[in-house]
Structure 1
Amino acid sequence: MTDAPDHAAELVELTADVVSAYVSNNPVPVAGLADLIASVHGSLSGIGHRVAAATEEPVPAVNPKRSVFPDYIICLEDGKRFKTLRRHLRVDFGLTPDAYRTKWNLPSTYPMVAPNYAASRSAMAKSIGLGRKAPQPTATATCGLTVCHGEVDRSG
């Protein structure tokens, strides 16, 4: 039981440090000093309780099994619908796709893009020729020279 008095004394000392630092740089009326001390003390004493609550397992906004639909994916962080999650996760939560999958215990195959959107982008890329190998060079070059077994025929 010696931890409780030590914790209380430490809390009072921290409160005094914070209040004295604040008062040295900001004008505070004498009547408001008691409220300031009570506010700082309450905030500091509540920190330990918030840390304990933060260690609990996060609860997703929706069931991960029901988060992937053909036209959209539902973000487990906030429950919003997106065609692609990567940018939303980075901007709003500071998460990479791997960190997101790890946080929610998702498999590495969990998609970050809606299936129909991925299929339409794939079809568009294939239609403009992406993903094909470059054509093999022909026997005749564009300058009119015929290449045959590494030798150049300049006769014609």
Structure 2
Amino acid sequence: MSETTTTDPVLVDLTVGIVSAFVANNPVPVADLPKVIEAVHTSLSRLGAPQAAETAPEVAKPTPAEIKRSVKPDTLISFIDGKPYKLLKRHLKKNGLDPASYRARYGLPADYPMVAPSYAAQRSELAKASGLGVSGGRQPVPQAAE
């Protein structure tokens, strides 16, 4: 076979099984049999070998000025496609990212918002108006003395 023969019994058994099935169903000249065995064995050993981790293409990290410009009062500009969004979470999920990996990928600070500031303030006011965060729900508004 090759110079680096593997004596892994599972790999040898798989090679024997595949070559046996191939030879039983296909006419193979005796002179070509070692080549077939080597090809199957090499292919199987490559399948079991650890692959080099495929890394995502290197993305240019935005400058601090670009990071600051990406946060506007009504929208956040995505570094993925350059489009404005009120909420980035759904957009990130569609692109296979979560907030932490997005921040890491683009070198953003840990406190980089995922929601546009005005939208966050609007939702906060709505929550306060409905009594969220206060035990007992909405507090009654005191009546003016008559």
TM-score, normalization by structure 1: 0.47
Cα pair 2:75 2:116 within 8 Å, conserved: yes
Q: CA deviation at 1:59?
A: 5.2
What CA deviation, in whole Å up to 9, does each residue of 1:63-92 have, x standing for no partner? 22210000000001110000000001101x
Conserved? CA contact 2:73–2:117, under 8 Å: yes
Structure 2's unaligned 5+ residue stretches are 1-53, 138-146
Q: Which residue of 2 aligns with 1:90?
A: 93
Which one-letter code corresponds to 2:135 in the other structure? K
* Deviations, residues 23-66 of structure 1 (Å, cap 9, x unaligned): xxxxxxxxxxxxxxxxxxxxxxxxxxxx89x6544355x92221
Find 1:130's aligned residue among 128, 132, 145: 132
Superposition TM-score, scaled by structure 2 size: 0.50
Aligned to 1:73: 76
Give the structure 1 partner of residue 114 of structure 2.
112
Larger relative CO (CA 8 A, sep 6+): 1 or 2? 2
Q: Which runs of 5+ in 1 are unaligned?
A: 1-50, 136-156
* Bigger radius of gyration among the two: 1
Percent identity over paired residues = 50
Task: Name the aligned partner's letter for residue 77 of structure 1.
Answer: I
Alignment of 1:16-95 (within 5 A): 55-58=57-60, 63-91=66-94, 93-95=95-97
The root-mean-square deviation of aligned C-alpha atoms, in Å, is 2.4
